[in-house]
Amino acid sequence: MNKQIMYKSTRGNERLVTASEAILKGLSEDGGLFVPESIPTLDKSMQELSQMDYKKVAYEVMKLLLTDFTEEELKTCIERAYDDKFDTEVIAPLVEAEGAYYLELFHGSTIAFKDMALSILPHLMITSAKKNHIENEIVILTATSGDTGKAALAGFADVEGTRIIVFYPKNGVSPIQEKQMVTQKGDNTLVVGIYGNFDDAQTGVKQIFSDKELEKELLSRGFQFSSANSINIGRLVPQICYYVYAYATLLKEGKIADGEKINVVVPTGNFGNILAAFYAKNMGLPIAKLICASNDNKVLYDFFETGVYDRNREFILTTSPSMDILISSNLERLIYRIAGNDAGVNADMMKALSAEGKYEISAEMKNALADFYGNYATEEETAAEIKRIYESCGYVLDTHTAVASAVYGKYAKQTKDDTKTVIASTASPFKFTRSVMNAIDGKYDAMEDFALVDELSKIGNVKVPRAIEEIRTAPVVHDVQCEVCEMKEVVKNFL
């Protein structure tokens, strides 16, 4: 029997909750994020894991952290999540290109890595509601910088007992990302474009969550809020699985020896995806360096360099919009950890972040970040990397993966470290066709969006994903737009 793992808030609320309660709540009452009391160790050897398929590996990882789910409940959630929504049976293939291993996390229904967690979250949530005898309808409220929104909509559409409202920055996502969201079917879905950037949307959602009056009003009508953002522990836990699976795959294919360490590179905005790799390392996965790759919004790079987190800077719209973020919500879980799990220290820093827009960690905390390396790639470097990899081996990267790939190049050059490296490939190039095709050759800019899709399929020798074929002719279902200050009213009207 696995040790029961309980969850607590990063900001000092002492009440311990079960995994299912943490998933339902999303955010702690004190505004903190839920973290496991302790991080368990993998109880199967890498050799054993290397003989398992994705679903089995996922079960072995998740059972250690979601300890109040029965074996049957967890296996049912996993079966329902990783089915034919994915266009490959392996779920997360590893592709070797130019001396690194690209972990393709974009084979799900919305062709981005968010599918890996958001395919399972609705099932974890509905199971959690039953376990906790919740009669209310669960209202998923989420802000998106482009990918979370569609992946959450696809996961929750027409799931009984749930509704979902997604806010996105009206001019801050790619045309394909927007089309994917506004064509979403499902009577329980609402998509709203806000006049502002992602941080505005995220802050607005957090304010709605902490509005006690609104909470009371909704409860009286049989609704309760939960979150599908990466702050939900039900998003983070499934992300740990694919790093374990990647290692197991390399071992199975004879690319590494058992116990040999690997580096992991992650294009990072909200910090959840690299935090999952950090948790995997803490569970015993042999990871050496965690390489955090930023775009021109390099708030994380500056943080790793100086120990100061400062969001007071210009917000830059880039070709890798899912990383256009200045408030990396999940970093709070790491801050809490390097502060020696001291919720008081963490809470003070988060207070400073919301009041002054910045905080500074101590020298001791900075030393605890030795496993991390941060760097960034400019727009020019990102485009150059797409072109370089395509011309050398015909493999096409999306803009976010190209940021990671370019940063890995800088890391390798600086350190001469030749440790085998896995790069998280977080989106399909089909999601950002114009930026990707322009990087390969400027002549493509004259083509319209869907003609570019077909051209990319031709030059990259890859089939057009189902997710793109579906939206070619899909009608727009959602056309609501609002100011940031109107978000709460929009929510009330929908409910």
Catalytic residues: 114
Nearest to 154 by CA among 377, 392, 419, 466: 466
**Counts of helices then strands in the chain (DSSP H, E):** 22, 15
Which tokens belong to 245?
């699976």
Up-side HSE of residue 76: CA atoms within 13 Å toward CB?
12
Alpha carbon distance 281, 72 (integer Å): 27
Cα 177 → chain centroid? 15
Sheet holding 372-376, edge to edge: 94-97, 100-104, 421-425, 262-267, 287-294, 372-376
Q: Is the dihedral of CA 236, 189, 144, 33 positive or negative?
A: negative
Cβ contacts of residue 40 below 8 Å, gap of 6+?
Answer: 2, 3, 5, 64, 65, 283
Alpha helices, H only, 315-398: 331-338, 343-356, 363-367, 379-393
Alpha carbon distance 245, 369 (integer Å): 25
Burial bucket for residue 352 (CB in 10 Å: 0-12, 13-18, 19+): middle
C-beta of residue 146 within 8 angstroms of C-beta of residue 168: yes
Alpha carbon distance 90, 320 (integer Å): 26
Cα 194 → chain centroid? 21
- In one-letter notation, the amino acid at residue 489 is E
